[in-house]
Amino acid sequence: MGDLLFGAIVGAHRKETDEFHYDVIPVAYFQSPDFRRKLYLKKATELTLRLLDEMKLGSDEDIEICRSFLFDETRPRLAEQFGKERVKVSVISGKAQDNVETAYLDEIRNLGYSPLEDRDEKRARSFFHMLRWLKSDPNRLKFAKTGWPRLRRYIRV
């Protein structure tokens, strides 16, 4: 979500079977005018509910959801629909996080971008690497989350 390129991956992972489904919040949700209207929050909820439906969530299965602000509208909706006792706010790690990260990396590679190997350890370096890639071809700006106000320091949006 915090990376400069592409939209955001919303993933659903079943620990017991390693089943994984994902979908994408398109980058347009992180650009004007949608970003200011926070439409990405509604899209995150829509995708989460659809993914859980696709996975045929059992009535006895708990739901762990990321604490990211991306899911600020999703968490109460899940609690309302599935019950507060089943919805746990968590730091997503392990196989679930790996699957989302792999999906994201595949998507940005599909744009023609080659991510840094150590991008997680060196977030600032990764940001500037992405920024240089964007600036090298003005047509690539359409792949950037240009709604972030601080981005205006680095590129003309």
pLDDT, position 105:
94
Cβ burial, residue 26 (10 Å; 0-12/13-18/19+): middle
- 42 contacts: CB under 8 Å, gap ≥ 6: 73
Query: Residue 90 pairs with which residues in a beta bridge?
Result: 66
pLDDT, position 151:
80
Q: Name which residue leads in pLDDT, 156 or 29.
A: 29
* Residues 61-106 pLDDT 10s: 999 999 999 999 999 999 999 999 999 999 999 999 999 999 999 9
pTM metric for this prediction: 0.91
* Residue 10 to residues 71, 120, 156, Cα–Cα distance (Å): 10, 18, 29
Q: What angle do CA 134, 110, 27 make, to 5 degrees?
A: 60
Token pair belonging to 132: 């240089």
Across residues 122-150, what is the average pLDDT?
Answer: 90
Average per-residue pLDDT in the chain? 92
The CA distance from 133 to 3, in Å, is 13
Confirm if 33 and 157 have CB atoms less than 8 A apart.
Answer: no
The CA distance from 97 to 94, in Å, is 6
* Residues 112-134 pLDDT 10s: 999 988 776 677 788 899 999 99
The CA distance from 44 to 32, in Å, is 17
pLDDT, position 155:
79
pLDDT, position 132:
93
Confirm if 154 and 131 have CB atoms less than 8 A apart.
Answer: yes
pLDDT, position 122:
73
Across residues 28-55, what is the average pLDDT?
Answer: 96
